[in-house]
Every structure is written in C-alpha cells, then in structure tokens.
Amino acid sequence: MKKYFIVLFLIITSLLFFSCDFIFIVDDIIDILQNEEISDYKTPVSDKIPTSIKERVVYYATLYRDSDTEYKYGGQDPLRSIKVDCSGLIIRCYQYALEGTEYELLRNDMSSSYIYESASNYVTEPEPGDLVFMGDANSSKINHIGIFTKKIGNTIYFIDSTEYAHGVSERSYDINNSKIKSFGEMKLKLK
C-alpha cells in the first residue's frame, strides 16, 4: 500500500512541477507497477486442496522414490535429472500434480521453513499428499519436510529427500517422535 502512496505523490509532484516530463514519469511508473510481483498475502488462496491433487502428489513422490533420486541441497531437478532436496521434492511433486488444474503454487521456490510458515495450513489429521514438517529432536525449528503417505497404528509414513538416505525414500517415524513437529496442507492459488 505504501508503494501506491509514493506513486500518487510522484504523479502529483510531476503535475505541479515537471508538467513537461509528466508523460515520461507516468510511463516509468506504469512499467514499475506492471512488473511488480504480487506478494503472497494478496494472492487468492484455495481453502481446501482436492483429494485428487493430493493423490497425484503422492504418485509423483513415489516416482522420485523409485528412480534412485540423489539428494542435492537446493536441487529441484525434474524427474529425469533426479537430484533434489526435501523442499525441491515437494515443489516438483506439486507442480506435476497441478498440471492441467486451475491451481498453482504460491511460489516456485520455497524452503521447508517458508512452506511451514507461509505456504501451508496446519492440519491435525494429515491425508496422503499433505506435508510432514520435521526438525531436530531438541529444537522447535523446522528444517525438513516430507510428503505424508499413510498412518498405520502410531507410525507415520512419508516420502522425503535426505542426504542421510542418499536421496528420495519412504521412511517412517512413530507419531510421538520429537523430530515430527507438525502436519500441513499446501496452500495453492488459483491461476
């Protein structure tokens, strides 16, 4: 909102003091506004992700898991290159799952902590395709993320990419494991 007041101020100032340059200044301002990236909080966000999209997310995660995917910090490679980190896996699986739908991700490059803080809604009972947020046992900080696949008894199963497992794998933790911090549903925006 502050930017718009600045723009209005520049337009009024231009009219009063530099009327001959007004057209050039207005053109510059219009270019700035047209190229401005819309921030996440102004973007329409869907209330609930359709189950079919979540099922597709799990499907693509299993393709990564079954393709001998290597871990690479910062990696978001498509399925054939196959070097991804944990958030890169999430982003790619959602991008593939959203193809041909009316939805898209809020951003195409997000860390696990950004997804936790700004790009997901908290859920108490995760569904396949939802997110598992993790961190070190003695910390509340989120530094890892996986795709929830199922819960059997007190065991949570998820697909993630780690250097520890040398790439994408399906792993599990007891629901009470202190490494599991939270569950979430990815926020999507309408195209």
Residue type, 71: Y
pLDDT of residue 65: 87
The region of weakest confidence among 19-33, 81-95, 166-180 is 19-33
The rounded mean pLDDT for the chain is: 81
Calculate the alpha carbon distances from 166 to 83, 84, 110, 112, 132 in Å: 10, 10, 21, 18, 19
> What is the C-alpha separation between 86 and 188, in angstroms, rounded?
19
Question: In whole angstroms, how large is the CA radius of gyration of the chain?
Answer: 21
| pLDDT tens-place string over residues 124-140 | 999 999 999 999 998 99
% of the chain at pLDDT higher than 70:
73
What whole-number distance in Å separates Cα of residue 191 and Cα of residue 16? 41
Distance CA(131)–CA(49), nearest Å, equals: 12
DSSP secondary structure string for all residues of 59-116: HHHHHHHTTTPEE-TT-B--TTT-EE-HHHHHHHHHHHHHTTSSEEES-SS--HHHHH
Q: Which two tokens stand for residue 94?
A: 């959602």
Chain segment 40-76, per-residue pLDDT in tens: 444 556 678 889 999 999 999 998 888 877 788 887 7
The β-bridge relationship of strands 83-84 and 70-71 is parallel
What class does CATH assign to 44-190?
Answer: alpha beta
Q: What confidence tens digit (pLDDT) does each residue in 91-114 have?
A: 999 999 999 999 999 999 999 999
Q: Does the pLDDT of residue 16 top 90, yes or no?
A: no
Examine the pLDDT at 21 and tell me if it is beyond 80.
no
Q: What is the DSSP string of 110-155?
A: --HHHHHHHSEEE-SS--TT-EEEE--TT-----EEEEEEEEETTE
Q: With 0-12 CB in 10 A as exposed, 13-18 as middle and 19+ as buried, what is 144?
A: buried
Residue ranges of the domains in the chain? 2-36, 44-190
CA atoms of 175 and 39, how far apart (whole Å): 35
